[in-house]
């Protein structure tokens, strides 16, 4: 019998100890500056994006959304510079098109549901999913970390599973929906989880097992293709990367860079553990589902499921545990000082969800929340 990936012990491969690249994709909502409602303005916005940025800006599922993607690299400073140019360039294009670019998980105020982008694949998705689809737009953040070998990348997915909920909590940025406080820090997560292929990544025996599960999901009609594999971490269908895709889009670049750095350091940490023969914890699926629900509900301002014990603890304590776990790789990648600073800033100011609620508590106006989100989006 062929051993599962968790049972395979190999000597350390020094070729794999190189620094890992990181890249980020971010999705944004296009809103009416006067009402705050989502607007179907993406084509008008794309027409106005500067030519030098056009290759890194693209359509998303709905006409009220736009996506940017940074090139992969080693330096967080370069990542930040790239995302800053993209955010400001697309924000300018949105203003020229009579809209506003907002980094928020989903639409805070009521309004008509914008149509999906006119692509055959998207129309097929609407046909297949029916009433699961309508919403102002579901805007997430995807972090790509360079792991080129498929078998190793699948092992990485197994090791990541218990730690993704606390990263989920750290990105919470959608407490308001249809004009009301949802009592969740990330309402986008709850809307998104209605889709049948959205779930915690299962424990995988091998790359062949990973491929077999994709084939089964397509054969049963749950997915049209492998691009609809919406597990919280996966192998990118396009790049030689592990793709972590659990969070709302972050309101500010500081938040984005912090999450990207923690994701890279976590991947680098588990790669090292794999190479020394440490098996991945086989966490029960129901516990992961509960941990992600708790993350969406509480954000960092409540409690989180401890990745090792399953106990509920203050979410900030769990995030601090993650920081300590990956500290050596943060240091090795040259990110420790910046991440320490950004983590302190996040602790002081709160998640995007907490910041939105603080603004609303002061003024009682969602328009003020959207004004601040637009300011943070631009940077």
CATH number of the domain bearing residue 41: 3.30.590.20
Please give the helix or strand (H or E) that residue 245 lies within, else none: strand 241-248
DSSP string spanning 61-72? SBTTEEEEEPPP
Q: Are 280 and 205 in contact (CB under 8 A)?
A: no
DSSP 222: S
Among the listed residues 39, 13, 17, the one whose alpha carbon sits nearest the alpha carbon of residue 28: 39
Domain that holds residue 326: 15-378
Q: What is the pLDDT of residue 135?
A: 84
Question: Does residue 25 sit within a domain?
Answer: yes
Question: Does residue 278 sit within a domain?
Answer: yes
Global confidence as pTM:
0.94
Q: What is the pLDDT of residue 11?
A: 32
Question: Does residue 1 sit within a domain?
Answer: no
Q: Are 230 and 292 in contact (CB under 8 A)?
A: no
Q: What is the pLDDT of residue 18?
A: 87
Question: Does residue 5 sit within a domain?
Answer: no
Q: What is the pLDDT of residue 197?
A: 96
pLDDT digit string (tens) for the chain, length 379 residues: 223 333 332 333 333 458 999 999 999 999 999 999 999 999 999 999 999 999 999 999 999 999 999 989 999 999 999 999 999 999 999 999 999 999 999 999 999 999 999 999 999 999 999 878 778 899 999 999 999 999 999 999 999 999 999 999 999 999 999 999 999 999 999 999 999 999 999 999 999 999 999 999 999 999 999 999 999 999 998 999 999 999 999 999 999 999 999 999 999 999 999 999 999 999 999 999 999 999 999 999 999 999 999 999 999 999 999 999 999 999 999 999 999 999 999 999 999 999 999 999 999 999 999 999 999 999 8
In angstroms, rounded to a whole number, what is the distance separating the alpha carbons of residues 86 and 163? Answer: 29
Please give the helix or strand (H or E) that residue 30 lies within, else none: strand 22-31
Q: How many domains does the chain have?
A: 1
Question: Does residue 53 sit within a domain?
Answer: yes
Question: Does residue 88 sit within a domain?
Answer: yes
Question: Does residue 4 sit within a domain?
Answer: no
Q: What is the pLDDT of residue 17?
A: 52
Question: Does residue 3 sit within a domain?
Answer: no
Q: What is the pLDDT of residue 65?
A: 98
DSSP 194: T
Q: How far is CA 112 from CA 37, 49, 123, 275, 352, in A?
A: 8, 25, 18, 52, 25
Q: Is 293 exposed, middle or buried (0-12, 13-18, 19+ CB in 10 A)?
A: middle
């Amino acid at each position: 019998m062929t051993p599962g990936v968790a049972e395979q012990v190999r000597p350390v491969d020094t070729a794999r100890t190189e620094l890992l690249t990181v890249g980020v994709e971010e999705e944004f909502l296009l809103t009416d500056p006067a009402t705050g409602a989502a607007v179907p303005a993406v084509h008008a916005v794309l027409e106005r994006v500067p030519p030098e940025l056009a290759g890194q800006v693209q359509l998303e599922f709905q006409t009220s959304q736009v996506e940017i993607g940074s090139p992969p690299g080693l330096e967080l400073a370069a990542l930040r510079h790239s995302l800053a140019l993209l955010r400001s360039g697309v924000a300018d294009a949105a203003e020229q098109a009579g809209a506003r670019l907002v980094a928020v998980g989903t639409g805070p105020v009521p309004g008509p549901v914008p149509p999906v982008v006119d692509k055959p694949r998207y129309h097929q998705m609407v046909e297949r999913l029916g009433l699961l689809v309508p919403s102002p737009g579901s805007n997430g953040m995807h972090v790509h970390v360079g792991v080129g070998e498929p078998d190793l990348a699948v092992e990485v997915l197994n090791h990541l599973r218990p730690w993704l909920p606390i990263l989920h909590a750290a990105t919470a940025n959608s407490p308001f929906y249809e004009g009301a406080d949802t009592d969740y820090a990330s309402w986008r997560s709850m809307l998104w989880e209605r889709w049948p292929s959205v779930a915690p990544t299962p424990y995988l025996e091998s790359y062949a097992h990973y491929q077999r599960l994709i084939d089964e999901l397509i054969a049963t009609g749950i997915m049209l293709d492998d691009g609809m594999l919406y597990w919280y971490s996966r192998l990118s269908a396009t790049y030689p990367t592990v793709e972590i895709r659990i969070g709302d889009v972050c309101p500010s670049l500081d938040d984005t860079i912090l999450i990207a750095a923690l994701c890279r350091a976590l991947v680098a940490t588990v790669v090292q553990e794999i190479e020394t023969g440490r098996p991945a914890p086989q966490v029960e699926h129901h516990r992961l589902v509960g941990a992600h629900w708790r993350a969406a509900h509480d954000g960092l301002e409540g409690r989180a499921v401890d990745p090792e014990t399953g106990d509920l603890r203050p979410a900030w304590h769990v995030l601090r545990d993650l920081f300590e776990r990956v500290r050596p790789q943060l240091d090795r990648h040259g990110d420790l000082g910046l991440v320490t600073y950004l983590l302190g800033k996040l602790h002081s100011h709160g998640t995007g969800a907490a910041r939105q609620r603080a603004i609303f508590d002061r003024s009682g106006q969602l328009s003020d929340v959207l004004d601040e989100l637009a300011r943070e989006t631009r940077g």
